[in-house]
Amino acid sequence: MDSNLLNHDIVTEILLHCPFTSLLRFRSVCKSWRDHIDSKPFRKSHIQHHAGDSDSDDDTLLVQFSLREDGVPELSMFNGKLHNNSLPASQEILDYHLKLGLDPTDAVQRAVITGPSNGLICIYYRATDAPIAICNPSLGLITILPPNPISMLFEPNHRHRLCNNHGIWFDEVAQDYVVVQLFSCYKIGYYLHASVYSKATNSWRGLTVGGSDIIAHDLCVVSPINSQCKNGSFSHWIAFDKDDNDVIVSFDFRNEGLRILEMADVEIVKRYGYMKIFAEGDDSFLVFSAGDQEDPKWLNIFWLRVEENRLQWDRMKRIGPFDGLVITKALALCEMGCVVLKAKTGCLVLYDYCNNKCVKCFEMKTKKLKIFEHRGSFVLP
């Protein structure tokens, strides 16, 4: 047997077991390692080898999304110390900002982040004519999806009355990412449209139920619910029906089906003022609520579980105080039993809500930010 081939096979096997962040450093070892790590076969094998691996947090970082003064998207990743990774300027996004006259502060407030799913996030705006961006923060790559032709079917004077939301999922079997886009109409009748984009086909297709392009009646989807799972097959959103009842809408990517979860006794949490919902899994949710909306030194956590298309309150836990900091909101839920909290001073607190202790504080330069937990991946947007 060729010794060089054997060495190559051994090196490949070792590199396949290495976390993504280590491979980025190993690219500098020598030209042959760089070319091997950058090759399509190796990257595909690495994605498949680490798919669904949630036991290691070696690749896990907290990511801040913001916009520079020139409108260029910027992603800052930090895990102990801050690392900046500016994305290439997308002309479609810059043109959209210019058309609306958005300054960076207003633009980042309007931007919505959904995901991540196997290293990919979806960045979008509420307007139906706005660009939809898919990004891999670790690789510093961003791509713009083609426009969804279904959005042009709505009357121009009705488009500003549409709620536009997205979800993203990476299909590990097909090695393809899928984006769902939900259009919900209000003031002109409550109904929900859904379309699915696949990178493999680079096209959108509308979903139908019983031959109708309306997949749900009496619903308006408001905003996405961030998930603790980094590649779950469900996306979740907060919604309300025509009677103003709060519900959670879940889309099952594997079966392309919709699930509507009623929130029983939601007034229990609303009594506490501020409320933030996260998905702990496909069938369980966590609600963070401030005990005192004006000066919250404690937070209440409510656990919810799915029972026959209804969300039942499981238990409650109070966490805090937070080393003298006044907490204003919860921003992101992490896999290792931690939550990212924002303090009144503008700093971020990584808090272990399982063991009731502050893990780390981060000083942020901007107050207008989006935070999410991210695991590195070679998946291309």
Q: Do 80 and 60 meet the contact criterion of CB atoms below 8 Å apart? A: no
Q: What local confidence, expressed as pLDDT, does residue 99 receive?
A: 67
Residues 6+ apart with CB under 8 A from 210: none
Q: What local confidence, expressed as pLDDT, does residue 2 receive?
A: 42
What are the residue boundaries of the structural domains of the chain, listed by start?
1-50, 51-375
Q: What local confidence, expressed as pLDDT, does residue 366 receive?
A: 60
Q: What local confidence, expressed as pLDDT, does residue 3 receive?
A: 41
Distances (CA, A) of 313 to 31, 54, 67, 80, 224: 56, 27, 38, 35, 20
d(CA 41, CA 24): 17
Question: Helices 3-16 and 40-50 sit at what angle, rounded to 10 degrees?
Answer: 40
Q: What local confidence, expressed as pLDDT, does residue 82 receive?
A: 39
Residues 6+ apart with CB under 8 A from 253: 167, 169, 171, 178, 180, 233, 234, 235
Residue showing tokens 């896999």: 335
Residues 6+ apart with CB under 8 A from 345: 325, 326
- Strand partners of residue 141: 136
Q: What local confidence, expressed as pLDDT, does residue 86 receive?
A: 59
Please list the pLDDT of the chain residue by residue as tens digits (381 residues). 344 444 777 778 888 878 777 787 788 788 888 888 888 888 778 777 766 555 555 556 677 776 565 556 666 655 443 345 556 666 677 676 666 665 555 555 577 888 888 888 888 887 777 788 898 877 778 888 998 887 766 655 554 567 788 999 998 888 899 999 988 776 566 778 889 999 999 999 988 887 777 777 778 888 889 887 766 789 999 888 777 778 888 999 999 888 888 876 655 555 555 678 899 888 889 888 875 555 567 788 888 888 887 888 877 888 877 877 888 788 888 877 888 888 888 788 888 888 888 888 877 666 566 777 777 788 888
Distances (CA, A) of 289 to 146, 229, 276, 303, 327: 39, 21, 6, 11, 11
Phi-psi region of 141 (alpha: psi -120 to 50; beta: other; left: phi over 0): beta
Residue showing tokens 């139920």: 209
51-375: CATH topology is Neuraminidase (2.120.10)
Query: What pTM did the predictor assign?
Result: 0.83
- Strand partners of residue 264: none
Q: Do 67 and 368 meet the contact criterion of CB atoms below 8 Å apart? A: no
Q: What local confidence, expressed as pLDDT, does residue 247 receive?
A: 85
